[in-house]
Structures are given as structure tokens and as C-alpha cells.
Structure 1
Amino acid sequence: MVTIKDIAAQLGVSASTVGRALADDPRISGAMKQRVQEVAVELGYVANRAARMMRGVSSKLVGLIVPDIRNTFYSTIAHSLSKCLEPEGYQLMLSETDDDRLVELRHVRELVSVNVAGMILVPSAKPLPEMVRLLKSVRHVQLLRELHSLGGQRFGMDDRRAIELGVEHLIELGHRRIAYIGPTEDLSTGAARLEGYRHALKAVNAWSAELEVCGAPTQGAFGAEALRRLVALKHPPSALVLGGVQHTQGVLDECIALGLQVPEHLSVVGFGDEPGFRWWNGGLTTINVPVSEMATSCGLWFLHQLQQPTNDMPRYRSVSAPTLVLRSSTRALDAPVKRRTRNSANA
């Protein structure tokens, strides 16, 4: 590997001068810094990160820990965060846990070992105690989900209100047998969404425990299985609200497999607004989550914290508002089918 000594020999200066020039030391002239940079590029010099870590210098790496990169929520988050961090010289490192807390711990250990500048994470439901302790040594912020044991910094959405929007829309259309498929209550997002579902239906005395089906948010197959279970009930639902993107995709696929007509047989409110949802069966009525905006706000705030001289993180909670996008997958109960020709959004 090319070293600082190699650059110094090429320029005929001391290694300390080259080191200071690469570190942008104000004692080194601009002309010398430019010469050092030119030779470093010519020789293919790469800074020794391990040596920097031994000197206690924080890296320019920021860890992003998410459950499932197949979920476009997380790919969108990764893209938005990367665009926020790049202009300031930070690089995003992506880790996927599949909500396995042992995998989560391993990733956190590795990120701490390379002295990352900070971490942005979507935590599992019950992180291991060692993982919680490790996070106390590094700047971090929670995204989407929230665990009080991990600190008071979180960027998320009003999950309860999100599901209330979908249920209230269906209630206004005359539905009362409204089912729900969503994440389990052990996740903060799952608990809040289920609370929103129950609250909206109990307000009109229409809640029924048999119409709730909750499971792993990363499994589209669960959404399909849950739909089969619901339509097999003695009194099946007339409408359905989804609480997760993967669940929504599984349900839409299963509707086709079962020959279930939407909205003739079942009115459906999805979760998230994937590009395909806009044209599925004439357009899916869905709960839109401002994922990109949320991630950008998180990235800009976190970048500001990384540039502070102290590792102390202030408590900060940002809650984004969801919206309901109205399309053609819902209709008034017992009303003749009238498909919309244009999409509309309703906050």
C-alpha cells in the first residue's frame, strides 16, 4: 500500500508535512496541500482508517440499521439519508437485521469497532442489553420505531392517526365489518397502529377481535395468509385496512389468486404508496407515509449533531403526519360500483 512516506519521498518533504497537509492543517500552505493531494491521487494513496481510529479520530462513516431492505420504505430512507450526508463527506453503511436481535447486536458491535461517527437505526422489538449499552457510546437516532431504552431521539410518523384515517374513511362509506392486518404489538409502530384501528371502530361500537390479524411486518406471505383467514370467517369483513407495506403487497397478490374483486367483494385501504399501488386494479386507496421527507429531516438534524463538539445528544422527537390517498379500491357499502377515472388525495 502507498504510505505517507511514499508521498513525502516523491515530493522531497518530510512525512510530517504530508500528514499535516492531508489533515488540512492551517500551518501548511495551500500550494503545498494541493501538491500533496495531486501526488496522493497519482500514487493511489488511501488513508489508513485503522491508524486514525487508534489516534481516537472518529470516522466519516454513519451506520444505518434497518429490518428489511426489500421494503421500499427502507431503500427510500437509505437514499435520502445518503444524499443528506454526502455533501459533508459522510458515507452511509447499510446493515439489515430481519428483526433478529442477535444479528442486530453483531452489526452494532462492528459499527462501534470501526469508530463510526453515528448510527441511525430502526430497532428490533426487544434489543439485547449489550446492544443497548453499546449504543450509549455512540451518537444515534431512532427512525420510524421508538424504544425509550435507546434514548429520546426519534423521527417517525403518527402511526395511530395513520390507521384511524383509513378506518374512518371506510366508516363514512357505511362499513362496520372492517378488518385489520398489520404488525405485532411488540413493535412501537404496530402497537400504535392497532390502537388507532381499535379506537376508530370502538367509537362506532363496531370493533371485533376476530377481525384483527397481526404478524411479522417483513413477511408479505403473512398478509396473504391473514386474508385467507379473514374471508373464511362465517361473517367475513366487507372492508380491510392494512398496517404495513409488505402486508399490503401480500394481500393484493392474494386478492388476485382468490379471484376476490376489489372493491365489489372487499374494500381495501393499503399502507404506503408504492408506484405499483397507483395502477393496481384502477388504483389503490392507501395511507401515504412521507418517508423521504422524514428521512431527510432526520439526516439534516443528525448531521448537525455530528458536527457538535460534544457527544451528548439532546432529546428530540419529530412526528410526521400521514395522508389518505383516495382511489378506486374502496366504495360505499351496498352501493353500485363506480370507478374513478382520476386519482385524488385527501389529507
Structure 2
Amino acid sequence: MVTIKDIAARLEVSASTVGRALADDPRISAAMKQKVQEVANDMGYVVNRAARMMRGVSSNLVGLVVPDIRNSFYSTIAHALSKCLESADLQLTLSETDDDRLVELRHIRELTSVNVAGIIIVPTARPHPESVRLLKMTSCIQLLRRHASLGEHWFGIDDTQALFQATRHLVELGHQRIAYIGGTTDLPTGAARLQGFHGAVAGSKAAAHVREELGAPASTDFGRDAIRRLLALRSPPTAVVLGSVQNTQGALEELHASGVSVPETLSVVGFGDELGFRWWGPGLTTISLPVSELATACGLWFIHQLKQKSANPAPYSSVSPPTLVVRGSTRAVEAANASRAPARSRQLAG
């Protein structure tokens, strides 16, 4: 294994000069840094990260801790963050918690043990006290979800406004029997989205007829089962609004499998704007979320803080706005009622 001493011998300089050059020490000239780097590359030198961490030097690793990488939200975030951090010679490492706070704790322990440059986390509903303690010892940014105990650096989406826009669209179309399928209110995102749903129907005729289907965690199975329960009611809803990407996917699968015509029988507003959503049936009306832009902004802010080398940066929050995208899966309730009789005879092209 090639060492700093080997490089120093080749260049006929001291090992300390080589070490400083590789660490980009300002006391070393640019010309010497270039010579050292060229020889290091030629000899196949690899930085001993373990040795650096033993000396208390932070690694170039940044931990991303998310609940479920199968959720396109988080895979999109991981991709955007990775590309952003590469520009600062930082490497993203991914951990998945499945919304289990003990798994979350294990990952946080591992990340802090290797002196990561920082941790970007979508926290569980109730982080373990030890997780809170460890995260306070490193640079930590919360993403999407926000937990008061984990600090005040947060990048998120206006979840309340997202569901307000989605539901208000249905109210303005004349729907009164509106159902909401969403996540548990144990999570701040779930509570905010439910608040937006109720805020949109407040003061309207729909307020007396709304129905909620809340589950934890959000999943395609829950979305599928919730739609079945709603359609089996004596007076089923004329419209449904979804509160997560997974719930949306499950609901759309069930509606297709059941032969329910959208929007003739049921108007649907989804959550998130997956590529397939625009092609589903008549095209899904949905809430588009700037997930990639949010992740990039988070990464750029994190890089800026590292360069500033501030021990206690001022609290920072960034809230990105959602956008309602109207397609063919919603229509005015009067038009829906007029065509309700033959509505189930047509299969959706899903």
C-alpha cells in the first residue's frame, strides 16, 4: 500500500510537506500541491480515511437517512443530493429506517462513529433520545418532516397548502361527499396535510359529508384497501383526494382493477406527479411537488455551512410551494351525476 512517505521519497521532500499538500494546506504552494497530486495519482495512493478520523478529522461522507427508498420522493432526493454534494467533493451514503426509531438509532450511531461531515434526515415520528443526543453533536438538517428536538435546520414542502389546493379544487367543482386517504397524524406531514384538507372544506356544504381514511405508514396496500372501503359505503364519495404517493399508487391500482370510471363515477386528485400519473386513465389531476429542487437547495445550503465553518449556524428553514396540476381525473359534480348510470361499464386504460 502506497504511503505518504513513499510519495515524499519520490519527490525528495518531507512527509509533512506531502501531507499538507494533500490536505490543501494554504502554507503549501499551488505548484507543489499539483506535483504531489500527480505523483500520488501515478503511484495509486489512496487516502487513509480511518487514520484521519482517528485524528478527529471529519470524513467527506454525508449521511442521508430516509424511511423507504422505494418511495420515489426519497430516491429523487437521494439522486439530487448526491449530484449536488459531488460538486464539493462530498459523498452521499444512504440509510433506510422503515420508520423504525431503533433502526434509525443504529444508522445514526454508525454515521457519527465515522465522523460524517453531516446528516440529512427524514426523521421517524418519535426519534430515540439517544438519536437526538447524537444528532446534536453533528451538523444535522431535517428534510420534509420536522421534529422540534432535532434542531431548527429544515427544508420542507408546504403540506397544508398542498392538500388545501387539492381539496379546494374538488369543492369548487361542486363535490360534497369528499373523502381523504392519508397518513397518520403522528407525523408532522400527516397532521399538516389533514389540516389542509379540513381547511379547504370549512364553511362549505362538503364539511358535513367528509370522510377520512388514515393509516400508518402510508402504503400502496392501505390506499388500495381504503378505496375499497369507500366505494362499499351506502353513499360513496363522489371525489377522493390522496395524501401520499404510495396511497395514490394503491388507489389507482384498485380503481383500475375494479373498473371504476374516473371521473364519471369518482373524481380523483393524487399526491405527487410520477411520470405514470399523467398517462393513467384520463390523466391524473394531482399535486406536483418540487422534490428535486428542494433537495438541491438543501445540499447547497449544507455545502455553504461547511465552507463557513460556523460551529452554531443560525436556524434556517425553507418551505417549497406545491402546484395543482389539473388533468382529466376531476370534473364538476353536475356532469358526474348526469353520466353516473353507465359509469362502471368502461374500464380505465391504466
Q: What TM-score comes out, normalization by structure 2 length?
A: 0.92
Instruction: Give yes or no for the alignment of 1:301 onto 2:292.
Output: no
- 8 Å CA contact 1:119–1:140 kept in 2: the answer is yes
Q: What is the match of residue 61 of structure 2?
A: 61
Instruction: Give yes or no for the alignment of 1:243 onto 2:243.
Output: yes
Alignment of structure 1 residues 226-237 onto 2, 5 Å: 226-237=226-237
Work out the CA distance in 2 between the residues paired with 1:111 and 1:208: 49
User: How far is 1:210 from its partner?
Assistant: 7.1
Work out the CA distance in 1 between the residues paired with 2:292 and 2:26: 38
Q: What is the match of residue 223 of structure 2?
A: 223
Q: What is the match of residue 24 of structure 1?
A: 24
Work out the CA distance in 2 between the residues paired with 1:48 and 1:281: 55
Aligned residue for 1:88, secondary structure, equals coil
Q: What stretches of structure 2 of length at least 5 have no aligned partner?
A: 340-350
Work out the CA distance in 1 between the residues paired with 2:216 and 2:265: 26
Percent identity reads 67
Aligned residue for 1:281, secondary structure, equals coil
Alignment of structure 1 residues 1-347 onto 2, 5 Å: 1-207=1-207, 211-335=211-335
Alpha-carbon displacement from aligned partner over 1:83-133 (angstroms, at most 9, x marks no partner): 222111111111111111111111111111110111111111111110011
Give the 3 Å change call, closer, same or farther, for CA 25–153 of structure 1 in structure 2. closer
Deviation larger for 201-210 or 328-337: 201-210
User: How far is 1:188 from its partner?
Assistant: 0.3
- 8 Å CA contact 2:117–2:138 kept in 1: the answer is yes
Work out the CA distance in 2 between the residues paired with 1:208 and 1:217: 27
Please tell me the residue identity of whatever aligns with 2:264.
Answer: E
User: How far is 1:209 from its partner?
Assistant: 8.1
Please tell me the residue identity of whatever aligns with 2:71.
Answer: N
Q: How many residues align?
A: 337
User: How far is 1:42 from its partner?
Assistant: 1.9
Aligned residue for 2:109, secondary structure, equals helix
Please tell me the residue identity of whatever aligns with 2:308.
Answer: Q
Alpha-carbon displacement from aligned partner over 1:66-87 (angstroms, at most 9, x marks no partner): 1111111111111222222211
Aligned residue for 2:87, secondary structure, equals helix
Aligned residue for 1:330, secondary structure, equals coil
Give the 3 Å change call, closer, same or farther, for CA 138–155 of structure 1 in structure 2. same
Q: What is the match of residue 347 of structure 2?
A: none
Aligned residue for 2:301, secondary structure, equals helix
Work out the CA distance in 1 between the residues paired with 2:17 and 2:199: 67
Q: What is the match of residue 342 of structure 2?
A: none
Work out the CA distance in 1 between the residues paired with 2:310 and 2:126: 29
Deviation larger for 108-117 or 213-222: 213-222
- 8 Å CA contact 1:97–1:103 kept in 2: the answer is yes
Q: What stretches of structure 1 of length at least 5 have no aligned partner?
A: 338-347
Work out the CA distance in 2 between the residues paired with 1:78 and 1:276: 20
Alpha-carbon displacement from aligned partner over 1:140-194 (angstroms, at most 9, x marks no partner): 1111111111111111111111111111111111101000111110000000101
Alpha-carbon displacement from aligned partner over 1:265-302 (angstroms, at most 9, x marks no partner): 11000000011111111210001111112112211112
User: How far is 1:311 from its partner?
Assistant: 2.2
- 8 Å CA contact 2:171–2:206 kept in 1: the answer is no
Please tell me the residue identity of whatever aligns with 2:281.
Answer: N
Give the 3 Å change call, closer, same or farther, for CA 226–312 of structure 1 in structure 2. same
User: How far is 1:218 from its partner?
Assistant: 4.4
